[in-house]
Amino acid sequence: MKALEAEVNQLEDIEVQLLLEGVFRHYGFDFRNYAPASIKRRIRECMRDERAETVSGFQERVLHDPACLERLLYKLSVNVTSMFRDPSFFQSFRTRVVPLLRTYPFLRIWHAGCSTGEEVYSMAILLQEEDLYQRCRIYATDMSKEVLRKAREGIFPLASMQEYTANYQQAGGKRFFSDYYTAQYDSVIFSPALRANLVFSEHNLVTDGSFNEFHVILCRNVMIYFNKTLQERVHNLIYESLHMFGVFGLGNKETLRFTPRESFYEELDQRDRLYRKVR
């Protein structure tokens, strides 16, 4: 009985690999180097929603029905985040990074893997309060059309605003958080002025290359879904896309340690994982 269970488990691993191989060869989305534990979990969740019994059965639908693929992509790319997640990160950004940014006449910022955009709007607010927004362009990218559509709208649930307001205040916010949005029914929409310099576009960190040079790149809690091989690729891509002395921000449980690019950066803030490219 126990041997049987182990075999079932191994078979499922094979099926997952076949599904990911099929998705890559047919559609070009490459999840083959995603961290296995999370991706298996998400595939299983997606299978439950689609009422698929086996990964092989699910694979047939994904390969023959592009709408089913879109639902899988959506599932794989939504990371539930919040505005000003880890307020101390934004606080450090204000104190350590903003003074560096004041020296440039024009700024390009890249939010890689922006999901539904909560952190993009947070950064837009911060930059506006620091009088830098008008000389910024923020490029926010994700691989999923669906999350980008949501991010572009700038509409978030009203129920989240209490938490976001607390985060905003802890992050050193200078105004009333409610100045930035208009509530309607159970949603809020962020002010069009915040969206003026945001550019949302499709970009896949796994398969696409560098598309510009940036003064700041934020890629927080995105690479945690990748295995080490893929993390290395993305670290190289980010390094190549940063200006000399450009700033790179990671999630607070991510690190540059043990990556081949470690020695190319200096730490601006250890706790808040802010780095500066120095060679």
Partner 1 sequence: MEEKIVVIGTSAGGLSALQILLPGLPSEFPCPLVLVQHRGKEAGSGLCDFLQRSSRLPVEEPEDKEPIAPGRVYLAPRDYHLLIEERHFALSTAAPVSYARPSIDVLFESAADAYGKQVIGVILTGKNRDGARGLATIKQHGGLTVIEEPATAQSREMPEAALAATDVDRVLPLAGIASFLTSLFEAAAR
Closest to 123 measured CA to CA, from 149, 98, 159, 104: 98
Q: Which stretch binds partner 1 (CB under 8 A): 187-195, 199-207, 209-217, 251-259?
A: 251-259
CA angle (38 as vertex; 89, 154 as ends), nearest 5: 50
Residue closer to partner 1 by CB (options 63, 78) is 78
Q: Which two tokens stand for residue 251?
A: 């999630």
Give dist(CA 117, CA 198) in Å, integer.
10
Look-up of token digits 């690190």: 255
| Residue 231 touching partner 1 (CB under 8 A) | yes
Look up residue 129 and give its amino acid.
Answer: E
Q: For the CB of residue 202, give the shortest distance to partner 1 in the complex, in Å.
A: 21
Binding window for partner 1 (CB under 8 A); candidates: 62-70, 149-157, 178-186, 220-228:
220-228
Instruction: Please check whether residue 191 is in contact with residue 155, taking contact to mean a CB–CB distance below 8 angstroms.
Output: no
Q: Which of residues 82-141 bind partner 1 (CB under 8 A)?
A: 85-88
For the bound state, the minimum distance from the C-beta of residue 254 to partner 1, rounded and expressed in Å, comes to 5
223 near partner 1, judged by CB under 8 A: yes
Binding positions for partner 1, 20-59, rule CB under 8 A: 35-38, 40-42
Q: What are the structure tokens assigned to 152, written together? A: 């572009």
Give least dist CB 243 to partner 1, A: 26
Least distance to partner 1, CB of residue 138, Å? 21
Q: How many CB atoms lie within 10 A of CB 129?
A: 15
